Amino acid sequence: MHLPTLLAAPLLAGAVSAAVGGPGSQIEQQARAAAAAPIVPGNYIVEFEDGHDTQDFYNTIAANASRKMDLNFRLFRGASIQFHAPNETSATDATAQLAALPAVKQLWPVRQYRIPEHTRHWVANVSDDPETVKRATADTFSTHVMTQIDQLRAKGITGKGVRVAVVDTGVDYLHPALGGCFGPGCLVSFGYDLVGDAYTGNNKPAPSGNPPMDCNGHGTHVSGILAAQQGSNTFGVTGAAPGVEIGMFRVFGCEGNVNDDVLIAAFNRAYEAGADVITSSVGGPSGWSDEAWAVATARIVANGVPCTLSAGNEGSSGQFYASAAADGEGVVSVASVDNTLSPTLFSKATFVDTAKANTSFGYTAGSPANWSSVTLPLWAATYNTNTQTDLCDPLPAKNATNDLSGYIVLVRRGTCLFTIKAQNALARGAKYIIVYNNVPGTLQVDVSAVPGVKGMAMVTADQGAAWIAALARNETVTVAMTDPVTAPKVLSNVNNTQTGGFVSSYSSWGPTFDVDVKPQFSAPGGQILSTFPRAQGSYAVLSGTSMACPLVAGVYALLIEARPDLRTNPAALGSLLSSTAQPNLYNDGTSRRHPNLLAPVSQQGAGLVQVYDAAYATTLLSESSLSFNDSDHHVAVRNFTITNHGRTSVVYTLSHVGAATAYTFLGDTDIQPAQYPLTLEVVDAAATLNYTTSDKANGGDGTTVTIPAGQRRVVSVSAAPPTGLDATRLPVYSGYIAINGSDGSALSLPYLGVVGSLRSLTVLDAVQTYLSKVYIGRSSPNSSVPVPPPTLRIAPNTLFVLPLRLPPGQQNLTDAQQEALLLANHTTSLVQANLNLVMGSPLIRADLVPIKLCPTPASSTAPSSTTTTVPTPTLHDVLGYKTFGSIEGFPVQYMSRDTFNATWDGGMADGTYAPPGLYKIVFHALHIFGDLTKPSDYDIVETDPFRIRYLEVPTGSSPASPTGKAVPKMMMRRQPLAECP
């Protein structure tokens, strides 16, 4: 979707931040908070037109903004700029001017992305304990067996000569399994630290000049999945393509986030460094392919370099929750499936019960872990190993006879937070707790927030059941724990029979809001053993689409070595992987409710990649997937081409396998999409496909197409969506066109479509869209008068005393002076707009509608300063409203479905200020596929009326600044003293 460039008005700052999305599927796990990439106030990415002088641009911004980063690349010529005083919504009419400059092609607000969330199962603390050394010779890594990497590796294909760039947190290149060095001849042979250790996303990136070392861990894990060197490491960890050269482009400091100007720079540096594949396990919910980073990435793909990005870990948010930049056109969005094995590194300890003396077992230390020389009997609140709510409620109160201080409390995982279970054990005197799992594997359980707990650990479900059985037999089970730092370690690979091979419950669902098929395909990302920084234990098991993505980058490298003719052909490589991928059944993570139904394409894409089949396929499809769009835009016929690269003529037979149809909404009147797996409903309903082929023209029925060796034929497909569905709940149907050749080839082409109208969906939830009041002033820097808490929804006619603003061109005050201007009154406040977007919106306006203005003193317009007259806005018509126009910070484009808020201090998008008065704000949120000139294509929410005036500074007096210097008088803006209206 491309919007007309009506947005000549600047896309301005405003503190837009995302709120937390849906709950994780297992609340006690590390939070996987959904977070749409927030806009960074006052920061913009500008792309220049080719051949235009950019000096006029820099001259124009000079007074108000500074150049933050040059984005001077072959495929992206521009810059990121930052307006001064970022916490004032300070950009003035300069942004409007600059958008209109001939040199400016596009202008986007900068967005911020987090270090990818992943679940950390365990981190090793390895010194080469001989007991754990396993030096495999053949590649038997389960994730490689799942994806046929082992079969290509057996043929000697390792990705030799392929340069794979990784955009991530850096890499511990000194790790023995990652080559042990940086630079030419090393595994990590190229790359760049774009940001330095101190970068947080809220300061200026400072390239360190050093190789891109990792102080987080994420990038080291990702790099090992791609190319860890076998034979030199403790656990036999081997990467998908150990023959590649890695280029690490570091975009995160040790803490904090990354802005997309840095990401665009990193991708373009990687491209110019000659990367054959670029991979990045970074992203955030978006759903729009026109975001700056998605556009820049799509451009690299269009220039011959495949880019693989993780689909996102927001599966719980349901459908239509694609991530940037994975949602870019032609960009490969990688979904995650769970590993068939749950590799777990246990610390060894022993126990004694009546039947067994000194039996050893493995545990995963939690936090805290003061287990050294703790030997105590076990106690359990219940002997029911199916209990869902063990220790979720308080136990009977502690008394003289039921004290648990002499026990280790054994408790089953489930339902409530680990900290609740710990508190309930603690209330009865316990200090040591062992949790037994309710799913395969173990986790590092952190209850360090609960004071009093000395030791926390987790054991497997099986170990827990064995102990409970012994306790139920009235046996005493005495556990002799060990210090996890020094305890011997053992790697155990438990079969994951519950979810192994199925899409991970956290993997984000597509499609995009334009009904582009996302994700493309899936790879193992759940429970992945790989390298970790030496300082953090050297090896770890993590879960996330972050872990699936580098495996697919490795798969691309193998495929490029196997098919060098396709090296610069991302579309062909992608369609080979897509057509040979293996779709799997639907599994909601807990039970297989639909044992015969394939998982929707919006969840698994083409399915699990099978790289050996892709490497040797002699039939190529021109497409990776087909979208039939929604009912309003239903595409009658889609064409694709089959090319027979084999040596003989092949007859291909077309057939169809439907996948589960997934309802976007649970109920008819719902506007908030259903959560997965809680309320997302799938049904067995498939489209009916019809084909037209050249064989049909010769009397065939259209289900076959005969293609001589070396030739190609077009197949036309039409899809009649499934019938009997409830269109108001927006079902997404999907499936696979199976293409079986007489030569034994078996390919499939995924497709999807939507029944119902995306354009008619509510995007803005009126009930949860409102104004609140945020206090910002203080009576003095050390005042004990607390700043009042923010209000929730304001009462009608609430008064806001907005902070004093400085006239344009006079903003060169010191921080202390600026601070002083805000201190005068602790009731100073900002208007906070809270919006709940239940669906993505391509455009959101916020226009200020005056109801009654204050009388203006004849001598001056208000607000004004003694030296500068700030123009009062003029009334004009916006979509049928008489308004002063957009408030600063709006309009905003391409918003994901999430709540967000923006604070406002009276500034208007055109650089004027709203005069004191009584107002309402009218929000317009454009529908998906909406026409931005049609009021009926917007959701419209009018706020309660509210009053504004500005902080009063009496003429002639200057507030004392904390530095003791008086703030120059000319900086004061005179306000009418009378409160009005």
Q: Which residue number, 620 or 822, has a Cβ lying nearer to ligand NAG?
A: 822
What CA dihedral angle connects 369, 373, 376 and 382, to 10 degrees?
A: 20
Orientation angle between helical segments 292-302 and 260-272, nearest 10 degrees: 10
Start-to-end C-alpha separation, the chain:
45
Q: By CB under 6 A, which span of 334-342, 392-400, 549-557, 794-802 interacts with ligand NAG?
A: 392-400
Per DSSP, the residues of 608-646 read B--HHHHHH--EEES-S-EE---STT--S-EEEEEEE-S
Q: Which residue number, 589 or 803, has a Cβ lying nearer to ligand NAG?
A: 803
Which entry of 17, 90, 150, 168 is annotated as an active-site residue? Answer: 168
52 counts as catalytic: no
Q: How far apart are CA 409 and CA 422, in angstroms?
A: 9
Extract the tokens encoding 545: 């689409």
Q: Phi/psi class of residue 429: alpha, beta or left (left: φ > 0; alpha: ψ in -120 to 50)?
A: left
Q: Which residue number, 111 or 778, has a Cβ lying nearer to ligand NAG?
A: 778
546 counts as catalytic: yes
Q: By CB under 6 A, which span of 9-17, 238-246, 395-403, 581-589 interacts with ligand NAG?
A: 395-403
Q: Which residue number, 137 or 399, has a Cβ lying nearer to ligand NAG?
A: 399
Q: How far is the CB of 107 from ligand NAG (least distance, A)?
A: 23
Contact 171, 214 (CB under 8 A): yes
Q: Is 621 exposed, middle or buried (0-12, 13-18, 19+ CB in 10 A)?
A: buried
Taking the CB of residue 768, how many other CB atoms lie within 10 A of it? 15
Q: How far is the CB of 776 from ligand NAG (least distance, A)?
A: 6
Contact 572, 620 (CB under 8 A): yes
User: Residues 137, 358, 373, 399: which binds ligand NAG (CB under 6 A)?
Assistant: 399
Extract the tokens encoding 626: 């087909």
Q: How far apart are CA 929 and CA 782, in angstroms?
A: 52
Q: Which residue number, 383 or 809, has a Cβ lying nearer to ligand NAG?
A: 383
CA dist 817 to 821, 951, 958, 962, Å? 6, 15, 11, 8
Buried b (16+ CB within 10 A) or exposed e, 883-908: bbbbbbbbbbbbbbbbbbbbbbbbbb
Contact 686, 623 (CB under 8 A): no
The answer to whether residue 782 forms part of the interface with ligand NAG (CB under 6 A) is no
Q: By CB under 6 A, which span of 399-407, 576-584, 874-882, 893-901 interacts with ligand NAG?
A: 399-407
Q: Which residue number, 474 or 669, has a Cβ lying nearer to ligand NAG?
A: 474
Extract the tokens encoding 32: 């996987």
The answer to whether residue 827 forms part of the interface with ligand NAG (CB under 6 A) is no
Contact 822, 806 (CB under 8 A): no
Q: Which residue number, 296 or 426, has a Cβ lying nearer to ligand NAG?
A: 426
User: Residues 373, 474, 698, 859: which binds ligand NAG (CB under 6 A)?
Assistant: 474
Pairing relationship of beta strands 731-741 and 619-621 according to DSSP bridges:
unpaired
Contact 343, 52 (CB under 8 A): no
Q: How far apart are CA 212 and CA 966, in angstroms?
A: 47
The answer to whether residue 595 forms part of the interface with ligand NAG (CB under 6 A) is no
Among positions 604-643, residues that touch ligand NAG (CB under 6 A) are: none
Q: How far is the CB of 474 from ligand NAG (least distance, A)?
A: 4
Q: Is 723 exposed, middle or buried (0-12, 13-18, 19+ CB in 10 A)?
A: exposed
373 counts as catalytic: no
Question: How many residues interact with ligand NAG (rule CB under 6 A)?
Answer: 10
Instruction: Go through the chain and tell me how many residues it has.
Output: 981
Q: How far is the CB of 973 from ligand NAG (least distance, A)?
A: 16
Q: Which residue number, 44 or 271, has a Cβ lying nearer to ligand NAG?
A: 44
Q: How far is the CB of 202 from ligand NAG (least distance, A)?
A: 7
The answer to whether residue 400 forms part of the interface with ligand NAG (CB under 6 A) is yes
User: Residues 12, 263, 542, 822: which binds ligand NAG (CB under 6 A)?
Assistant: 822
Q: Which residue number, 90 or 883, has a Cβ lying nearer to ligand NAG?
A: 90
The answer to whether residue 402 forms part of the interface with ligand NAG (CB under 6 A) is yes
Which entry of 144, 175, 218, 221 is annotated as an active-site residue? Answer: 218
Q: By CB under 6 A, which span of 164-172, 396-404, 506-514, 641-649 interacts with ligand NAG?
A: 396-404
Q: How far is the CB of 823 from ligand NAG (least distance, A)?
A: 9
The answer to whether residue 87 forms part of the interface with ligand NAG (CB under 6 A) is yes
The answer to whether residue 396 forms part of the interface with ligand NAG (CB under 6 A) is yes
Contact 580, 555 (CB under 8 A): no
Q: How far is the CB of 472 from ligand NAG (least distance, A)?
A: 6
Which entry of 546, 829, 864, 896 is annotated as an active-site residue? Answer: 546
CA dist 71 to 262, 270, 619, Å? 9, 13, 41
Q: Which residue number, 591 or 812, has a Cβ lying nearer to ligand NAG?
A: 812
User: Residues 401, 669, 859, 936: which binds ligand NAG (CB under 6 A)?
Assistant: 401
Q: How far is the CB of 866 from ligand NAG (least distance, A)?
A: 23
Q: By CB under 6 A, which span of 109-117, 141-149, 277-285, 398-406 interacts with ligand NAG?
A: 398-406
Give phi and psi for 570, each to the nearest 5.
-55, -35
The site for ligand NAG (CB under 6 A) is made up of: 87, 396, 399-402, 473-474, 776, 822
As annotated, the active-site residues are 168, 218, 546
